[in-house]
Amino acid sequence: MSIESTILKFSGHQTFPIRYGWIYKIIQEIVKGESISSKLNIEKQMQSMGMGKNMVLSVRHWIRALNLVICVDNKEQIYQLTPLAEQLFTHKNGRAAYDEYLDKIGTIWLLHWLLQSIDTRNAELNASRFLFNYFNGIKVKKEFLANEIKDALTNHEKELTEETLNKDIDCLLQMYAHKSLQSKKINEDSFASPFTELGLLKQEDARSYLAELSRRPSLPVEVFTYALIGYMQRKHQESKVNTLSFEALLNDVGSPGRVFRLSAAGLSDKLDQVETLTEGKIAWTDTQGLRQVQHCFEDINNIKADQYLKHYYQPEGK
């Protein structure tokens, strides 16, 4: 997709990366029917969530950015949880939540996918989405990343201020990379964001980070399969095409290979596992250098990708 057609969304987080416990707190507010956009209930939510005003505004931003809610009343700005968010974080009709307190690494990978994968329709762009969809380097420096983003948006109709861009990059680095510690004391800021657990950004020195491509052994095949099906549905939403090139899956904007920073070997590993999980409904071939992924669903747009998440959260079907 053209980067000029994206909607710039480099602010809203109040410079706070999402933190452990925040999702649980904001989920409770939504379940209670509280607005997450109204200015009238800010003080009430400051009390109920035990946060300052800017943190309340930040967590409201993140729950929308994570695509865990949908707006059901534009006038009153009332949101409700998506079916996936309900399944992950709430108890309903005697059914237990998959991961109410965000204890599982697979849930963090899933949230990373929901946060960073770009849909070609009305795609919102920020510093982290640029990094995980457009950035082609391995070494990440704040100044270099800022220049890359500015160059890419030269022809964009909206102007991005340097201050807003720099704050967004700072938030990205805090959210995904562990800070280097001079002492062995535990620095709680180093563990403030669950996304640091994914190892997608590693601090090399005071000014440099590494965004390496790897096999991602902690990425569950069930979460990868969910992402793969979602990506194929977006790519083929109005066609009967049932194949996708390995290279597209590895390198295209919004693809699992890009968003999860997978190496070619890592993508091969995951696709082998996908074939087993889906009982051959999704498979890949490497014939005479032509690598393709193929599905045999009658209509992939009718497939509920979250069915494969059950194997991760309820391995014995309980």
Rounded CA gap, 235 and 256, in Å?
Answer: 12
Of 281, 238, 284, 287, residue with least CA distance to 257: 284
Q: Is residue 107 situated within a structural domain?
A: no
- The verdict on residue 170 lying in a domain is yes
The mean per-residue pLDDT over the stretch 304-316 comes to: 92
Assess whether pLDDT exceeds 90 at residue 232. Answer: yes
127: left (phi over 0), alpha (psi -120 to 50) or beta: alpha
For residues 143 and 202, state if they share a domain: yes
Q: How many domains would you assign to the chain? A: 3
> Could you tell me if residue 74 is inside a domain?
yes
Residues 172 and 94 in one domain: no
Say if 6 falls within a structural domain.
no
94 and 160 share a domain? no
299 & 271 share domain: yes
pLDDT above 60 for 318: no
Q: Which of 158, 178, 210 is the last residue of a domain?
A: 210
Does residue 27 lie within any of the structural domains?
yes
The whole domain housing 293 covers 221-313
| β-pairing verdict for 7-8 and 124-125 | parallel
Which has more pLDDT, 78 or 163?
163
Do residue 247 and residue 291 come from a single domain? yes
Look-up of token digits 């996908």? 274
Query: 26 with 59: CB under 8 angstroms?
Result: yes
Same domain, 205 and 228: no
| Single-letter amino acid code for the residue at 101 | Y
pLDDT by residue (tens digit) across 171-203?
999 999 976 544 444 444 545 899 999 999 999
Q: Which residue has the tokens 């494969």?
A: 308
Q: Which pLDDT score is estimated for 239?
A: 78
Pairing assessment for the beta strands 202-203 and 208-210 based on DSSP bridges: antiparallel
Torsion-angle region of 261 (φ positive above 0: left; ψ -120 to 50: alpha; else: beta): left
Provide the 8-state DSSP code for 191: G
Residue 235 in any domain: the answer is yes
Based on the fold, state whether residues 272 and 233 are members of the same structural domain: yes
Task: Say yes or no: 234 and 308 in one domain.
Answer: yes
pLDDT band, very low/low/confident/very high, at 120 (cuts 50, 70, 90): low
pLDDT averaged over the chain? 92
Question: How much is the pLDDT for 168?
Answer: 98
Tell which residue, 27, 81, 100, 102, has the closest CA to residue 59.
27
Q: Assess whether 225 and 306 both reside in one domain.
A: yes
Residues 233 and 308 both lie in one domain:
yes
pLDDT exceeds 90 at position 45: yes
Question: The tokens of 237 are what?
Answer: 């939403």
Q: Which domain-ending residue is among 210, 236, 268?
A: 210
> Which of 30, 23, 24, 101 has the alpha carbon at shortest distance from 62?
23
Residue 215 lies in a domain: no
Q: Which CATH number does the domain housing residue 304 bear?
A: 1.10.10
Q: Is 63 contained in some domain? A: yes
